[in-house]
């Protein structure tokens, strides 16, 4: 691996090349001084002699009228585009609002005597779920219909129903063809828009499959008529065949980014989709480590077989110079230089080769860039295929029949290369001749692989998208399929590392065995025979599955793997350097692969100590001694993912309270603290995510995020009330299994509108309609509110909605953030009136100590008939509600703060519980505080902010 001086800033298609190795587009670092003022799109001079001359000489579009259209399009501002997210049914429901409510008002607007163009669906995106708008900004800002439309976009984006994304960047996930059972890797994932698409593909059809599973389950118990899944589900179209986990998607997305801050941005983006089928990592994409799975015993032997995770699909949206984004980033016009692409070529090849190594046989990699330069595109594809063994090993898939409405050009079969000085070269032989005559610094970055290959690779199957074709940015996409196992060739014989690898050391020892006698180490041949990696290994296993071919047997004394990894220099300097650069130091170049070496040999970087005892390596994760996580310089502390035992008391309590059947998995719940005890939140992951997190714990893997919050601890009154409420994130997975005793059903729009608009209404409120009697009979605590479809066109619903609801002593509240409430009111009712927060009436008034007297307490008792016992409430930053101990934080117009005050200045309820319950609650809180003190604090932004009581 060549040592690279990478000075990339954060990914963002910015002023320079896309720098990084799993970060992305080079961004806006600073050099210590003030940043230059940003120019508007119109102010930037959109000419660059080298840029225009190079692409004209490449002849990427025919000379004449079309070439003029190409350059005119590049100089125009990029249209806005957005995508409807979530399940197909839900996305279509949100889309319906756009087509029926907002587009008719927009098309009625006239500007300069002509009707304004309304947003239009992208013709190639499935189900019309992606749209583009070309309306000028001055029009959008001037006319009221656009203000309402903008409000709709902002509202739905904030709750994750709409994603604003460049149109061409939506293409790679579509052609990757992800299925719900696939294991997927997004190597360069931040900021996460493509990862979001991949997650949606993993969950396609999941809701319908789970409903069908529930229906059959309850019918088998003889109560199918009561099942909510029975409503309109018998004729439901089922998508996908992933039934192995009761209809839940069994696939997984591993989303990676090299930069830790960018990885956190990625987490923020994808968390809105509430997927337990996600693991976020923080590694260099060129050196992405192999992920170990639990070892399996070999039949008829006392040995264990080590398993490594292989992927069905990999997306490599690699770092690039980004010159196809100059419509969005006009500064590229003045900053573009030929060296941008030259410095990234080797990094791009390494990422693609590493992707192919980690891919299952029969799996697919999509390689994409937002560059138009063939050095970053066709040259990378050709070089990677050559290194992996040619077209017999890796095939370029013809996607001409995919996305039929997408206009595209085929890949270039012939191209030229421009050096750092701007001189254009036709072939590598000309470069060699020039180098032989005299030294030229401008030629140092040119290598043979940058030029067209003569190896017969069908490079024309690649796809090029140009701005003038459908008013988009420039983009390059290629779909590759792995035909058989590969052994990557070295990058160059002249660039072999002077540092011997584990394999070469072993070979040297083997060669000296006859001279020096026996050595305390197995020969390479013996080792490879034990592990199925001999020269015959691939052919002998040609009929085995990809998973079998990727596994190997653990010997009694394995070769210890190297712990040494190159430093990620870009992380510490990204804030100081403005332009991303990659400089190669040829004299210290190390190869990625070695001839005759399988892709997973040696094993992935792990702690050396873990391999000192083979019995310890193969012990179950829960039986393994816990080791202290070591923290690298400038690296964040390793995250904690501690799984709870299935019979944990808190899990038992939750299952009993909600009436969850034993069929629902109990062994996938985890916490995010070092103590491993549930203090604030309990998370849920898939089975595969659990295997990955537990098997690789303490082995140098940098896991950033996984799991969704399923339960959050809540202060409650009463010993029989469960203290764990269901979080909105985990609701879709668990709601169908909750017992009918904890379900409220709503059929009328007017009832839901009341609950959305008013927070903490009394349980006696007549506006609760058909839900009033159900709520009155329900015990305190968290329940499920199901909004069911009905035949009432005026006051009924056409789609299912499920929400968490909390029943307090004398009030009820939907557990939704204010943003979600407002978005639903706007979407369903076109209602943007302010929310009404009844808990504001219980807000304490400032008072001195003398006023907090027994007289005040007695007055409060007389006024309310209670004993001053506290009422639950919630912070709106997470799931809705307010803090009643922070009056300055809330500005709800309807709050009058006139309610009588009881003990400690808190509001009281009519039907308060007995004093001994309050005392028991105080004791429980003391126990919780002790637990919280022992447990490590959760990651910033992960804490629950609804856990307050008044």
Residue ranges of the binding site:
188-194, 257, 284, 317
Q: Could you list the residues known to form a binding site for S-adenosyl-L-methionine, using ranges.
A: 188-194, 257, 284, 317
Answer whether 583's CB lies under 8 Å from 570's CB: no
Chain centre to alpha carbon of residue 774: 38
CA distance 624 to 617: 8
Task: Pinpoint the alpha helices (H) of 836-885.
Answer: 854-864
CA distance 914 to 717: 10
CA distance 266 to 272: 11
Give SS3 for 370: coil
Residue 452, CB-side half-sphere exposure with 13 Å CA sphere: 15
Number of residues written out for the chain: 950
CA distance 950 to 811: 13
Residue 537's nearest CA partner among 494, 478, 590, 601 is: 601
- Catalytic residue (choose from 85, 320, 326, 370): 370
Give the bridge partners for 711, in sequence order. 682, 726
Give the bridge partners for 836, in sequence order. 758
Helix (H) or strand (E) holding 803, with range, is strand 801-807
Answer whether 512's CB lies under 8 Å from 523's CB: no
CA distance 446 to 424: 11
CA distance 565 to 602: 13
Give SS3 for 226: helix
CA distance 800 to 804: 14
3-state secondary structure string across 105-171:
HHHCCEECCEECCCCEECCCCHHHCEEEECCCHHHHHHCHHHHHHHHHHHHHHHCCCEEECCHHHHH
For the chain, give the longest Cα–Cα distance. 103
Query: Would you say the C-alpha torsion 190, 191, 197, 202 has a positive or negative sign?
Result: positive
* CA angle (742, 271, 96) in 5-degree steps: 75
Answer whether 249's CB lies under 8 Å from 200's CB: no
Residue 819's nearest CA partner among 248, 154, 282, 183 is: 154
Q: Would you call 418 exposed, middle or buried from its count of C-beta atoms within 10 A (0-12, 13-18, 19+)?
A: buried
Answer whether 269's CB lies under 8 Å from 284's CB: no
**What backbone torsions phi and psi does residue 652 show, to the nearest 5 degrees?**
-60, -45
Cα–Cα distances (Å) from 734 to 207, 288, 784, in that order, read 11, 34, 10
DSSP string, 248-276: B---EEEEE-SSHHHHHHHHHHHGGG--S
Residue 102's nearest CA partner among 156, 146, 139 is: 146
Question: Within a 10 A sphere around the Cβ of 906, how many other Cβ atoms?
Answer: 20
Question: Within a 10 A sphere around the Cβ of 812, how many other Cβ atoms?
Answer: 25
- Tokens coding 637: 């502390």
Q: Would you call 235 exposed, middle or buried from its count of C-beta atoms within 10 A (0-12, 13-18, 19+)?
A: exposed
Cα–Cα distances (Å) from 585 to 5, 185, 286, 492, 907, in that order, read 8, 30, 16, 14, 70
Answer whether 455's CB lies under 8 Å from 432's CB: no
**388 labelled catalytic:** no
* CA angle (635, 640, 643) in 5-degree steps: 160
CA distance 402 to 3: 40
The residues assigned a catalytic role are 370
């Amino acid at each position: 691996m060549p040592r690279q001086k990478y000075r990339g800033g954060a990914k963002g298609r910015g002023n320079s090349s896309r720098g990084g190795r799993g970060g992305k587009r080079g961004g806006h670092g600073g050099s210590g001084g003030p940043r230059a003022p940003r120019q508007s799109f119109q102010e930037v001079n959109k000419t660059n002699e080298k840029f225009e001359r190079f692409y004209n000489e490449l002849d990427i579009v025919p000379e004449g009228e079309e070439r003029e259209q190409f350059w005119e399009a590049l100089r125009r501002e990029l249209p806005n585009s957005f995508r409807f997210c979530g399940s197909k049914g839900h996305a279509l429901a949100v889309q319906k609002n756009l087509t029926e409510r907002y587009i008719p008002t927009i098309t009625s607007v006239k500007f300069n005597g002509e009707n304004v163009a309304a947003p239009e669906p992208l013709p190639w995106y499935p189900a019309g779920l992606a749209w583009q708008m070309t309306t000028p900004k001055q029009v959008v800002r001037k006319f009221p219909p656009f203000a309402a439309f903008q409000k709709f976009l902002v509202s739905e984006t904030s709750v994750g129903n709409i994603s604003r994304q460049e149109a061409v960047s939506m293409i790679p996930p579509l052609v990757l063809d992800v299925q719900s059972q696939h294991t997927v890797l997004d190597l360069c994932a931040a900021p996460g828009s493509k990862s979001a698409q991949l997650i949606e593909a993993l969950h396609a059809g999941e809701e319908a499959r789970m409903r069908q599973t529930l229906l059959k389950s309850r019918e088998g118990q003889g109560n199918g008529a009561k099942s909510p899944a029975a409503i309109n589900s018998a004729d439901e179209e089922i998508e996908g065949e992933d039934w192995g986990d009761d209809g839940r998607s069994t696939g997984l997305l591993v989303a990676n980014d090299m930069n830790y801050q960018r990885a956190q941005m990625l987490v923020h983006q994808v968390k809105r989709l509430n997927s337990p089928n996600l693991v976020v990592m923080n590694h260099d994409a060129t050196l992405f480590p192999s992920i170990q799975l639990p070892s399996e015993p070999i039949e008829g032997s006392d040995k264990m077989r080590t398993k490594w995770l292989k992927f069905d699909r990999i997306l490599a949206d690699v770092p690039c110079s980004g010159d196809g984004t100059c419509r969005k980033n006009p500064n590229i016009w003045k900053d573009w230089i030929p060296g941008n692409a030259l410095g990234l070529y080797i990094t791009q090849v390494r990422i693609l080769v590493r992707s192919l190594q980690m891919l299952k046989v029969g799996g697919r990699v999509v390689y994409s860039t937002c560059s138009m330069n063939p050095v970053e595109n066709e040259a990378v594809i050709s070089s990677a295929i050559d290194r992996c063994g040619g077209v017999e090993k890796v095939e370029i898939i013809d996607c001409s029949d995919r996305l039929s409405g997408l206009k595209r050009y085929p890949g270039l079969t012939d191209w030229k290369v421009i050096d750092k000085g701007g001189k254009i070269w036709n072939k590598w032989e000309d470069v060699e001749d020039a180098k032989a005559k005299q030294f030229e610094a401008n030629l140092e970055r040119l290598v043979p692989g940058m030029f067209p290959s003569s190896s017969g690779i069908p490079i024309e199957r690649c796809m090029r998208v140009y701005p003038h074709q459908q008013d988009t940015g420039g983009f390059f996409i290629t779909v590759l399929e792995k035909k058989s196992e590969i052994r990557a060739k070295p990058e160059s014989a002249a660039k072999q590392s002077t540092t011997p690898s584990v394999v070469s050391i072993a070979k040297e020892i083997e060669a000296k065995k006859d001279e020096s006698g026996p050595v305390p180490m197995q020969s390479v041949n013996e080792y490879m025979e034990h592990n199925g990696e001999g020269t015959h290994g691939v052919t002998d296993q040609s009929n085995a599955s990809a998973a079998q071919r990727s596994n190997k047997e653990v010997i009694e004394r394995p070769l210890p793997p190297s712990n040494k990894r190159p430093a990620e220099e870009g992380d510490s300097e990204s804030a100081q350097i403005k332009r991303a650069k990659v400089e190669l130091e040829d004299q210290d170049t190390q190869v990625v692969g070695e001839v005759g070496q399988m892709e997973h040999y040696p094993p992935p970087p792990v702690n050396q100590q873990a391999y000192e005892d083979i019995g310890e390596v193969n012990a179950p994760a829960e039986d393994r001694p816990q080791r202290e996580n070591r923290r690298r310089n400038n690296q964040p502390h390793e995250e904690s993912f501690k799984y709870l035992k299935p019979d944990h008391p808190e899990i038992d309590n939750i299952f009993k309270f909600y009436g969850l059947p034993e069929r629902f998995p109990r062994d996938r719940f985890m916490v995010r603290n070092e103590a491993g005890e549930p203090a604030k939140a309990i998370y849920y992951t898939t089975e595969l995510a659990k295997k990955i997190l537990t098997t690789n714990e303490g082995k140098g893997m940098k896991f950033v995020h996984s799991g969704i919050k399923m339960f959050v601890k809540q202060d409650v009154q009463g010993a029989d009330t469960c203290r764990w409420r269901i979080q909105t994130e985990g609701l879709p997975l668990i709601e169908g299994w909750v017992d009918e005793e904890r379900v409220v059903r709503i059929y009328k729009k007017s009832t839901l509108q009341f609950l959305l608009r008013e927070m903490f209404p009394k349980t006696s409120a007549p506006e609760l309609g058909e839900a009033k009697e159900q709520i009155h009979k329900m015990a305190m605590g968290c329940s499920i509110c199901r909004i069911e479809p009905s035949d009432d066109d005026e006051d009924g619903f056409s789609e299912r909605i499920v929400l968490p609801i909390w029943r307090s002593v004398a009030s009820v509240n939907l557990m939704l953030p204010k943003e979600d409430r407002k978005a639903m009111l706007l979407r369903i009712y076109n209602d943007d009136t302010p929310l009404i927060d009844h808990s504001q009436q219980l807000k304490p008034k400032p008072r001195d100590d003398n006023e907090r007297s027994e007289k005040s307490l007695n007055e409060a008792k007389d006024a309310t008939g209670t004993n001053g016992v506290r009422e639950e409430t919630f912070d709106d930053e997470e799931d809705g509600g307010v803090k009643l101990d922070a009056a300055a934080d809330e500005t709800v117009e309807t709050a009058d703060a006139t309610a009588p005050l009881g003990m400690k200045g808190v509001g009281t309820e009519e039907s308060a519980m007995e004093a001994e319950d309050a005392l028991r609650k105080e004791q429980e809180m003391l126990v919780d505080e002790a637990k919280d003190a022992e447990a490590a604090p959760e990651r910033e932004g992960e804490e629950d902010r609804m856990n307050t009581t008044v």
